[in-house]
Amino acid sequence: MPAFWSATALLPGGWAQDVRFTVVDGRIASVDTDTAAAPGDELHRITLPGLANVHSHAFQRGMAGLAEHRGGTSDDNFWSWREVMYRFLDRLAPDDMEAIAAMAYAEMLETGYTHVGEFHYLHNDADGRPYRDPAEMAARIAAAARTTGIGLTLLPVFYAHSNFGGQAPNHSQRRFIHDLDSFSRMLEACRPLLADGDRLGIAPHSLRAVTPDELAALIDMPPQGPIHIHAAEQQQEVGDCLAWSGQRPVEWLLDHAAPDARWCLIHATHLSDAETDALAASGAVAGLCPITEANLGDGIFPASRFLAAGGRIGTGTDSNILIDPAQELRALEYSQRLAHQARNVLASEAHPSVARRLFADTLAGGAQAMAIEPGLAVGHAADFVTLDAAHPALHGRTGDQLLDGWIFAARNSCIDTVWKRGKQLVAGGRHKDGAQVTARYLKVVDRIMAR
C-alpha cells in the first residue's frame, strides 16, 4: 500500500500529530511524526490501533436475541440461557457455522476489532460423533476469518465433563466432548488452518469441564501458546467449586495451575479481595465481557481494585449479543459507577480520561492474551482504525477527548475505515464484503429458524 498519513494518531507514547506510516508486507516499516503527507499517501484525520477481542463464541451470533423471553420459571439466569444455547447449536451444520462466524467477524471489524480470540468448542457432528476431519468446525472458523480478513487466535476448547469432579457429560454437551488423545489430534489438525499472523492456543473450558490431571496435561501440550479458561462466572459455579475442592475457582487455579502471562481467565467475575490481588500479581489477563455479563446477569467484576493492583484486562464479545468494543468499555466503566456510586471510577493518575485508560489497558492486555504485538509501532502489524472526524460526538475534540466522545457520547459508530495488515477491509463503517456476508448469514438464519 502507499504510505498511510494521519493528522493525529495514537502511538505507544501517546497522541502524535501529522504521522506518516510506511508499510511493507503488512507490517509498519517506519513511523514519522510532524511530517507532511506525500503525493499518493492514504490520508486520514484520526487513527487508532486496532483492538483484540479476547473472547468470542462466534456461533452464538446467530442466536442473539432468542433468549430474551422468560420461560415457565421466574428463576431465569445463565443456566436457563444455556439450555436455549444447547437447543440452538443442535441445528448447526458446518456451512452454518462458517456463515454465522463470518457475520460476527465482519461486525467486529466494522466496530474496531482487528483480531479475535475464538474460544471454539463446537467440535462434533449433531449426533456427537467426530467429523471425518477432526478439525472440520475449526476449519470453518478459519475460513470465516480469511473471508473477512480479521486476525485469529484459534483456541480449541477441551471439554470432557459436566461438572466438578469429573462428572460425566450430559447429552446436550455431546458436540463439545473430547478426551486428551482425540483433542491432541484435533489440535494438530488445526495448525495448517492458520493464516500469516494468526496464533494457536488452547482453552480448557472451565474447572467444571476438566479434571486436575487433564488440566495439567493440557498446560504442557503443544503449541505452548495462550491458555484461556472460563472462571468464576457464576455464583453457583463458585459454590460448586467450594463443595468439590474447598476452594473458590480462581483460588484453586492460582494454587494448582500457577497462571502466568500465557493465561487469560475469562470473566473471573466473582473474586474475593485476596483472589483479586493475587490474580493481578500473576501477570495473567482477566478477559472481561461486560455486555454479555450484563445480559446473562453474571455480576460485576471488581475492576477498580484489580486495576489498582496492576491487573491486566482485555475485552471480549463472548455471546456476541452485541458487537462493539466502545460499548464494552462503556459498560465496564458504568458497572463500576453503579457498584461504587461514583463517577470516572476507572480513571488513573496516568490517564485521567477513563476512555484513554481503558483503551490503553485493553489494547495491551488484549494483545498479550492473543500473543500478538500491541499498538502502532515499527515491526507491528499495520492494523489501523480511523474515526470519522465529522461525527458529532467527535466535533471540536482533540487527544483523549476523541476517545471520550467515541466511547461515551456516540449514539452510532464513529468508525470510518479499518485496515488489517495494510489491507483496507472497512470503508464508511461498512465491511467491503458486508452485503455478501450478510446475505449468506440471513439465508442460514432462515434455514435454522425453519427447522
The catalytic site residues sit at 267, 318
Grid cell locating 7: 493528522
> Do the beta carbons of residue 369 and residue 314 sit within 8 Å?
yes
Residue 428 CB neighbour total at 10 angstroms: 9
CA-CA distances (angstroms) from residue 43 to 19, 136, 181, 228, 312? 10, 41, 52, 38, 34
323 secondary structure, DSSP code: -
Grid cell locating 126: 449433531
> Do the beta carbons of residue 391 and residue 401 sit within 8 Å?
no
Distance CA 349, CA 298 (A): 30
37 secondary structure, DSSP code: P
Strand partners, 5: 20, 43
**Through-space distance between the first and last CA atoms of the chain, rounded to whole angstroms:** 46
Could you tell me which residues come within 8 angstroms of residue 87 by beta carbon, excluding any fewer than 6 positions away? none
Q: For 23, list phi and psi in degrees, rounded to 5.
A: -125, 130
Distance CA 40, CA 359 (A): 31
Residue 35 CB neighbour total at 10 angstroms: 13
Q: Which residues of 317-341 are buried (b: 16+ CB within 10 A; e: fewer)?
A: bbbbbbbbbbbbbbbbbebbeeeee
Residue 411 CB neighbour total at 10 angstroms: 8
Distance CA 109, CA 418 (A): 7
